[in-house]
């Protein structure tokens, strides 16, 4: 399988280069298109700023490739190449192996080279065929299935929920699935999704119907997701000149051994842009199975490992954010999450500088504050700086 993936990767890269030649000449239709980026991200982790620093480095390249064999067909591949080196690998014996733990049905992640303090990994997080004709659309393969309405926490995102803390992965994870969609009107459609798995307990099959009413987008969903029965709903619209969104999902565990089979996860948010371009957002999440004391943060969430049921280990959390463009080329962002039960806090300030049309510098921090044995009190603080060149 590994040799097949390597051959496939080389073939995709060749197709991308070949397509650039065709598109550059301008004498043929664009059967191939591509874009991507190259990033360098450095991370500094510390408990006490005056004590030991741990430094990690990431060179991150992405290709988004698209091939159009006909008017109704599209083939898409998304490839992440990451060269990681530094202290994190040396301190964690599982770090390198975790990079190859592909959560999908197909194993599309592998390491090219690895050592005591470095690793080069390739992950294919998009690989699907899309067919669309009139009101019908079908997609087969690894794809992003985004059923979320909110911007931070998404209880309706049943197939590939993401972590807010994994900020460097803008594309978000995908799922190995078969997805069909039928458009019943200009603002309404129905979906059915089957996610592949090795067992009935690990598979997922759900449906969604979305429509517009009173200038709001509403959706209702239900199905079977990884040994849980689930029903849910979400909405998105305007209220008082700003956006008003919400999602709720009810899970009923099919596992006879669990103590409490019932779980409700609910999130609601509002955001508003003022006349001076100041953007503000407030969001709240409730988890009926969350804890109100002795709350421990799941560090895997920092690496993107989460589900619609595990968006927070707490009974509730509050998120706030403001963003302001100081100049057209300089943007500031300040975000915070508060746990109202143990008083712990996450604070994330960030500044973005546009150096050129396709070159960006990001300075960002993740500060985790609180007493010992609280949700955010036992985590190290993280400082980042990142260059990104897009093509």
* Cα distance between residue 354 and residue 381, in whole Å: 26
* Cα distance between residue 349 and residue 347, in whole Å: 7
Task: For residue range 151-183, list pLDDT tens digits in order.
Answer: 999 999 999 998 999 999 999 999 999 999 999
Task: Give the pLDDT of residue 16.
Answer: 47
Residue 99 forms part of a structural domain: yes
Specify the pTM. 0.86
Residue 373 forms part of a structural domain: no
Instruction: Give the residue among 212, 254, 252 at the shortest CA–CA distance from 236.
Output: 212
* Cα distance between residue 84 and residue 72, in whole Å: 39
Neighbours of 147 (CB within 10 A): 24
Q: What are phi and psi of 55, to 5 degrees?
A: -120, 130
Residue 153 forms part of a structural domain: no
Instruction: Give the residue among 294, 271, 297 at the shortest CA–CA distance from 282.
Output: 271
Task: Go through 35-62 and write b for each residue having 16 or more CB atoms within 10 A of its CB, e for each that does not.
Answer: ebbebebebbbeeeeeeeebebebebeb
Residue 61 forms part of a structural domain: yes
Residues of the chain falling short of pLDDT 50:
2-3, 5-6, 9-10, 12-14, 16-27
β-pairing verdict for 359-369 and 54-70: unpaired
Task: Show the domain range for 116.
Answer: 1-121
Beta-bridge partner residues of 110: 122
Distances (CA, A) of 383 to 46, 47, 175, 295: 9, 11, 31, 24
Task: For residue range 276-304, list pLDDT tens digits in order.
Answer: 999 999 999 999 999 998 888 766 656 65
Residue 94 forms part of a structural domain: yes
Task: Give the pLDDT of residue 294.
Answer: 86
Residue 262 forms part of a structural domain: no
As for how many domains the chain has, the answer is: 1
Residue 280 forms part of a structural domain: no
Residue 29 forms part of a structural domain: yes
* Cα distance between residue 161 and residue 265, in whole Å: 13
Structure tokens at 157: 């995102």
């Amino acid at each position: 399988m590994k040799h097949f993936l390597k051959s496939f990767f080389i073939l995709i890269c060749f197709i991308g280069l070949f397509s650039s030649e065709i598109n550059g000449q301008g004498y043929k239709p664009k059967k191939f298109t591509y874009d991507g980026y190259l990033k360098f991200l450095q991370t500094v982790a510390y408990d006490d700023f005056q004590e030991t620093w741990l430094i990690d480095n990431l060179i991150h390249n992405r290709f988004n490739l698209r091939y159009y064999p006909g008017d109704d067909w599209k083939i898409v591949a998304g490839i992440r190449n990451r060269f990681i080196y530094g202290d994190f690998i040396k301190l964690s014996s599982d770090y390198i192996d975790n990079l190859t733990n592909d959560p999908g049905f197909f194993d599309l992640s592998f390491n090219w080279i690895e050592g005591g303090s470095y690793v080069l990994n390739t992950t294919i997080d998009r690989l699907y065929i899309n067919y669309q004709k009139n009101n019908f659309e079908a997609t087969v393969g690894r794809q992003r299935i985004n059923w979320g309405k909110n911007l931070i926490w998404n209880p309706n995102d049943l197939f590939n929920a993401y972590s807010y803390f994994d900020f460097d992965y803008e594309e978000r994870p995908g799922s190995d699935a078969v997805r069909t969609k039928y458009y019943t009107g200009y603002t309404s459609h129905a979906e059915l999704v089957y996610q592949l798995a090795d067992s009935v307990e690990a598979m997922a099959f759900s449906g969604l119907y979305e429509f517009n009413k009173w200038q709001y987008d509403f959706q209702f969903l239900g199905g079977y997701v990884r040994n849980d029965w689930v029903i849910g709903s979400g909405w998105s619209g305007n209220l008082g000149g700003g956006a008003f969104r919400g999602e709720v999902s009810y899970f009923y565990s099919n596992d006879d051994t669990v103590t409490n089979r019932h779980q409700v996860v609910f999130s609601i948010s509002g955001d508003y842009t003022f006349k001076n371009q100041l953007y503000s957002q407030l969001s709240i999440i409730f988890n009926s199975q969350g804890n109100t004391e002795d709350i421990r943060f799941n560090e895997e969430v920092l690496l993107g490992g989460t589900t619609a049921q595990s968006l927070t280990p707490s009974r509730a959390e509050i998120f706030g954010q403001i963003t302001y463009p100081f100049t057209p080329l300089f943007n500031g962002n300040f975000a915070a999450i508060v746990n109202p039960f143990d008083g712990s806090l996450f604070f994330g300030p960030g500044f973005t500088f546009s150096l050129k049309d396709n070159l960006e510098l990001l300075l960002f921090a993740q500060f985790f504050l609180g007493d010992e044995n609280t949700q955010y009190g036992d985590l190290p603080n993280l400082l980042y700086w990142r260059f990104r060149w897009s093509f």
